[in-house]
Chain A
Amino acid sequence: MSTATIHPMSDSLTMLRRQLRHSVRNMSTLFNAVFFPIIMLLMFVYIFGGAFNVGVEYVQYVFPGILTMTIAYGVSMTAITVNNDMTQGIIDRFRTMAISRASVLTGHAGGALIRTLAGVTVITLVALLMGFEPNAEFGEWVLAVLLSAFLILGMAWMVIAFGLKAKTVEGASFAAFPLLFLPFMSSAFAPASTMPAGIRWFTDNQPFTPIIETMRGLLTGTPIGNSGLAAVLWCTGLLLAGYAWARRAYATSGR
């Protein structure tokens, strides 16, 4: 029987269920994904925090940055899950089946979203226990969650493309390195205005700074200004470029 009706929705849900199963079975990765940000939060608040003069309780200042790092860290794991699919040959199996071509990747993106939002929830609870006092209204909370989701998906599609392109798992994790590194070169830990000129230029113009500033504004009421628009543009750009690149890498893999 040769029917060739393609079911994008149901295929994507099947692939998402597969990803969630993987996540639940890979507790150590899941644990790692929140453990590292928690350690960062503790270190910056209780050890280094005193050295920064940011005008408010340090946890108030640093949490939005740590939140963004949690997102970056959580999403970076997807490079490895995608690359595993690739090296295990299962992607080649999927590519010979009459299923929606996007579904495998949508499954990975959805998996990254759910996994990372879970990590975000945990780190937020930890911060609240440590004395973080958000002043966000309901609407601002909603916007903060939407921005998180938008950022997760934007980065996830980029990372999926990296994972498809990398020849080895090591290569895939290396490709995700900028995600872990860029937040350190942003306004996450200290205001950009306190930095030397050259570094400041870089900090001002990389995606994490406006995203963190927007998050900080939404959660603690600092002024957002142009950062909001810049954050949305960066996320949109990442999403579109990552999606196009990943779809292409999937269609042409193995050539």
Chain B
Amino acid sequence: MKIRPAIEATGLRKSFGDKLVLDGIDIVVPAGSIYSLLGPNGAGKTTAVKIMSSLIPADSGEVWIDGHDLATDPNFVRASIGVTGQFSAVDDMLTGRENLRLMAELNHLGKREGRRRAEDLLERFDLAEAAKKSPAQYSGGMRRRLDLAMTLVGDPRVIFLDEPTTGLDPRSRRTMWEIIRGLAADGVTIFLTTQYLDEADELADRIAVLDNGKLVAQGTAAQLKQLIPGGHVELRFADTLALRAAARVLDGGRVDEAALTLQVPSDGDVASVRALLDRLRDARVENASLAVHTPDLDDVFFALTGHPTLDTQQEKETV
């Protein structure tokens, strides 16, 4: 038998009515790695996850997971995977602990092993204190952690995470990142979708950018970043006089007289920003404010596709 990667999808196509959502995408994820599908709202990320996790059929294309063909062995695939969907899928009428025990029973772990596993996960995901409460009383971060813990009860080899940190506060987001890294370190294969470049950058071994149903770029974070313009520092001034003086001192910047701003290319690290401000101070130019802009999904999209993300497009259209 041919040895296959943990996830291999070829030529996935899917339309809803006459709306084409996936236009033939290919995905290969080697075992034990983290793959991130990056795309704005409405790009088709959830659709891709639903197809690969057996929830909906593709119109055409093949999916192999952990050596099993999804079309012929869906139950083998289901036994290998764990899925944490975009919206939490927990039972609010049960407690956190009961939710985990329910998963243990459905995975046929046996009473004692099931209980042990539930307690382990409660401990590991910092939910032990809230174990007796309904998830309806949990914070967003706790709910998300319970959701993921439920996915892990069956010890899946391949995990799908659909926007695992969307809507979480920065702290919960960090915690979730730690958990995901820990899973990968244990050899679990992770397919994760996100709208945030920094998240993909932080976690993924390989990133694919989804736009208009096609993967417009694939590669490591470093490879993708080479494709996009770097960040910049935006300086705002009190008047045109100061703006022009600053523009003379820091040549190469982009001047916007109407907004009284000057954009200077910069990767945003403290030393270079400090050097920039020192030069202005030496020339006795006072700047009113400063903002550091690091490249984000909009920049990636603009660089790769020549158009902004759908969200920003829509915003502009409705203005």
A-to-B contact residues, CB < 8 Å: 1-4, 6-7, 10-11, 14, 18, 21-22, 25-26, 88-90, 92-99, 254-255
Contacts and interface: CB of A to CB of B under 8 A. Distances in A.
B93 A26 contact: yes
Contact of A255 (B56, B98, B106, B108): B56
B31 to A, nearest CB: 13
A98 B89 contact: no
A93 B150 contact: yes
Given A22-B93, A25-B93, A97-B106, A2 B88 contact: no
B98 A88 contact: no
A170 B155 CA distance: 37
Interface residues of B, number: 37
Given A1-B155, A4-B76, A18-B94, A96 B53 contact: yes
Interface of B: 50, 53-57, 66-68, 73, 75-76, 78-83, 85, 87-94, 98, 102, 105-108, 150, 154-155, 157
9 contacts: A2-B67, A3-B79, A25-B93, A88-B89, A90-B89, A93-B89, A93-B150, A96-B53, A254-B56
Nearest to A81: B93
Contacts, number: 76
Contact of A95 (B55, B79, B82, B154): B55
Nearest to B150: A93
A14 B55 contact: no
A89 B88 contact: yes
Contacts of A26: 93
A212 B98 CA distance: 41
- Give the 3 A-B CB pairs with smallest separation, nearest first: A89-B89, A4-B75, A98-B79
Given A88-B89, A90-B89, A96 B78 contact: yes
A13 to B, nearest CB: 9
B75 A6 contact: yes
A254 B55 contact: yes
A153 B53 CA distance: 32
A99 B75 CA distance: 8
Contacts of B150: 93
B80 A2 contact: yes
